[in-house]
A and B are shown apart, each in its own frame.
Chain A
Amino acid sequence: MQRPDDQSLDMSVLLTLLMIFIFASPFTRWWSGAGLPWFLPYLLWLLPILLGAWTSRKGGGA
């Protein structure tokens, strides 16, 4: 069984990679030029926040 420290580290790395993929990769250029609704960046931002809250409540938070 994984220790809480390991779990929080895993989730932290996973969420960071997700954020980098969404906001700091060529994918960012793609979605920002796709003519999507104005609130899309907010939805994309909310995703890692909610995932972070969920993992924290599960006991794997920072």
Chain B
Amino acid sequence: MSHELGTLFSAALLYLLLLFLLAYVADRGLIPDRWIRHPLTYTLSLGVYATSWSYYGSVGFAETNGFQFLTVYLGVTLAFTLSPVLLRPILRLTQEYQLSSLADLFAFRYRSQAAGILVTLFMLVGTLPYIALQIRAVTESLQVLTHEVPPQTLAMGFCITLTLFAILFGARHTSPREKHRGLVVAIAFESLVKLLALLLVGAFALFGVFQGPGHLSEWLQQNPEAVRALYRPMQEGPWFSLLFLSFAAAFLLPRQFHMLFAENLDEKALATAAWAFPLFLFLMNLPIPVVLWAGHFLELGVDPDYYVLGITLIRNHPSLSLLAFIGGVSAASAMVIVTTLALSSMSLNHLLLPISYPDPRLNLYYWLLWGRRLLIGIILLAGYSFYALLEHSQGLVQLGLISFVAVAQFLPGILGLLYWRRATRDGFIAGLVAGILVWAFTLLIPLLHGSGLIAWDFDLARLQAASGLDKWSFATFWSLSLNSLFFFGISLLTRQSPGEQQAAQACCTDAFIPITGVVSAASPAEFASELGETLGRRTAQREVQQALADLGMAESEHRPTELRRLREQIERNLSGLLGPQLAHIIVSRRLALDSRAKTALADSMRYVEERLEQSRSLLDGLTAELDRLRRYQHRILADLPLGVCSVSEDLRVVLWNLAMELCSKVPGRQAVGAKLNSLPKPWNEILTGFARASDNHIHHLEVEIGGRPHWFNLHKADIEEAGGNVSPGLVILVEDLTHMEYLEAELTHSDRLASIGRLAAGVAHEIGNPLTGIASLAQNLEFAKDNEAVRARAQDILTQTRRISNIVQSLMNFSRSGNAGIPSEPVRVSEMLNDALQLIRLTHQRRDIRFDAICPDDLCTRGDRQRLSQVFMNLLSNAGDASVEGGRIDILASERNGRVLIEILDQGCGIPPNIQERLFEPFTTTKPTGKGTGLGLALARNIILDHGGTIEIDSAEGVGTRVIIDLPQAEEAP
């Protein structure tokens, strides 16, 4: 059985179109975000590791090298098992510093453009055989299925389609900050397709070829050599070398690095991938021995590399062979797309940009986007050329392993990056160059020689035989040994630059990098202006805005601390755009640090605290104890009921505690890092003046805040230079006396009222006695019926004495106030109101004033009914007096939170503001002389206070007055 070339081509094209569609809908947001972010999607996207080498070549590898084909996946399992110490630190670094490729990572750590260029060039050369392998696998699979040699244009067509896909879905954004969700989904889908296809082929081999496990077992018993042939190479072959190589390839291959770190959407997904990805590889490899034996059983006449396709042709299953072919296309296309994207990103940052940085007048984003797209095309063209030039005598696995040895050369550098701060740029470059030379000598040149591209007559095989190592172990051992030797040796002999030291510390998670220097540019606008010289005005503005948004910072920010943070954020963002080294150069040149300026203590403190918060989980033993102590002391300062403000030598605020925030109304976030003279008024003048003054104490300083007077005591003490990093400065204590002042004023007022009460009682007593006499005499005079004039005068005297008597009685009542002797019986509020209303309606009958009361019958308070009725009498009388004829007064009583709330609302003339403040003081009245004593409200207030309640008056002139009384609620009165 065979397939038509056209059918297979159409099937592959349709499959790639399906991928386009899937990536498109994912990019458009038509696939739920939780599916895209799901750890399973991430795990499947890592399946890009399994290329056509795994898909087709594993069977061929198993044929020649037995179970050694498993090492290619066991090494990956080992690397993922070590993910907490190996993969997670790299992921955090790449995310924190926006590093999108291995070249970025090395250029960042070793602060060297040369390192970036070298890594990129080597990665390009080392990976081209791998890309060629994929193109070859697709064309050869076509040959197996059609029994005819496919034209070269088909391979070219495959490359063009993949270029289009990579450009459309892998180069949509210029910054790695924006992930390519469509690409991730498409690659995950490809992994699923190849897994299912391979499992189906395996199931077909087991049940379609062998008629089930029983028959397979029988066949194996009859052919014991089949199993022995799998085990035998483990005893003698390059088992350990391959295990080691695949360990390195698991995260250093460009496509693996890209999907693992650059396209990672959630760090937590790595925890799932640590076991789920090895499981995926396990399932991919489960059918390999069965497919191999099925090929033997059927005595297929095809290369074992293509048994996966071959067995499906024998039993006439066109749909299965088509699916197996699609699985192969899937494996090859995913690898080519992701590898090309990763290499294009590296080439852009480390080859194209350093060589030809665009004119600032051009739109940098478009330039980068189209530069990347152009590079994708060039890389795929180079891969295709390599495929076209290569002699196809090498097995699929051979080509793949050449790339594995190439990427393993980065292993010493990456271990140094993560765990050896002493490693230097020179050591890294020297080691890598040594490794590359050995790799080229042992693997690349023989490959090119084998393909007839170069002449080479060195007898490498003799050297290998003399060493007693096989080809792969020989190349791996010598390249990595020399690489490591040079890396460690030269690192020990050379010194790091300051920038390199800082980057080395940043790469070690628990290292602390002190902040030094102040940015010369004084505002975000100046940042944009300076960067505009290199990036172009629009790009610079956009990058500054982006960094401000990332940090939640305002455009008006001017504090050196915050500007320093802004500078760091801009460098990180530019690193994602242009690569770390170029970003570092641009930021260092355009946003230079003033080395003469002393780093503010506030900067260091905030930075240290941020770092401590981030690394809290890493603290242990004594450091953890010290951190607890630090937190405790910090808490003491923060919660101290005194305002504490410490300032550095240059009068910049270092500490601003909670009490300081409350008394000054200036938030700590605004104050810390700012100079004292730039604080809001009046604190700028007060604190700057006090800091400069010779006196260490100021007592009872009156300050107007929010239109009200406040009083403070200020104290200060010098912070002496204690050596180390502790700079001299000042600590200022601010003691808020305002509350105390108000309490004292209230106490004085109460004393005054008490004195008035005592005076009133005395005066009332003294006046009362003669007044009684005068009243008695006047009553006698009234009976002098013969003299009309005398009787009229007597009547006048009696009227005036009654008035004096009322005043005296009021004074007596006022002076008698106090809660002693108040009965605590429940009293119905409605009854008290009715008592008051009956009397009031009588007095205001002629003025036609309406009184409306709403009060629940069962609402009760506790106290003296008569005295409380007196309160309502006074208040209603005042309301009536203030109301115009025909006016309306509402009385609303209700229960609220276990209290009785009574409101009396009138629509009268209101109370003038100047009187409102002293309304409850005795003898304060708005009524004309002779109409009121000014004691009614003072008396009412005393009675309410004696009953455990409160009274408030809310009045607006010309609108009306609302009196609110709050009293304790009691159980219902009997």
Contacts and interface: CB of A to CB of B under 8 A. Distances in A.
B81 interface: yes
A42 B85 CA distance: 26
- By size class, the interface of chain A is 20 to 34
B554 interface: no
A46 to B, nearest CB: 6
Contact of B286 (A8, A42, A48, A49): A42
B67 interface: yes
Nearest to B286: A42
B923 interface: no
B164 interface: no
Given A5-B84, A8-B84, A16-B82, A45 B274 contact: no
B74 A19 contact: yes
B235 interface: yes
Given A16-B81, A62-B84, A62-B270, A41 B617 contact: no
B271 A23 contact: no
B289 A61 contact: no
B361 to A, nearest CB: 47
Interface string A1-37: 0011100110011011001100110001100110101
A34 B617 CA distance: 46
Interface string B54-92: 000000000000010011011001101111110110000
B74 A9 contact: no
B276 interface: yes
Nearest to B239: A28
- By size class, the interface of chain B is 35 or more
B973 to A, nearest CB: 61
Nearest to A12: B84
Between A16, A35, A37, A45, the greatest number of chain B beta carbons within 10 A of the residue's beta carbon is seen for A45
Contact of B618 (A5, A16, A19): A5
A52 B617 contact: no
Nearest to B278: A49
Interface stretch (B226-234, B725-733, B851-859): B226-234
Nearest to B234: A32
B240 interface: yes
A33 B286 CA distance: 21
A56 B231 contact: no
B289 A38 contact: yes
Interface string B720-763: 00000000000000000000000000000000000000000000
Interface in B213-257: 220, 227-228, 230-231, 234-235, 239-240, 243
Contact of B78 (A19, A37, A38): A19
B267 to A, nearest CB: 9
18 contacts: A5-B84, A5-B617, A8-B271, A13-B85, A19-B77, A19-B78, A19-B81, A23-B74, A23-B78, A28-B234, A33-B231, A45-B73, A49-B275, A52-B81, A52-B278, A61-B272, A62-B88, A62-B271
Per CB-CB distance, the 6 closest pairs between chain A and chain B, nearest first, are: A52-B275, A61-B271, A62-B83, A32-B234, A62-B274, A53-B275
Interface of B: 67, 70-71, 73-74, 77-78, 80-85, 87-88, 220, 227-228, 230-231, 234-235, 239-240, 243, 270-272, 274-276, 278-279, 282, 285-286, 289, 617-618
Given A32-B231, A41-B70, A45-B73, 12 more contacts: A9-B85, A12-B84, A19-B74, A23-B71, A32-B234, A32-B235, A38-B220, A41-B67, A42-B285, A48-B81, A49-B275, A52-B278
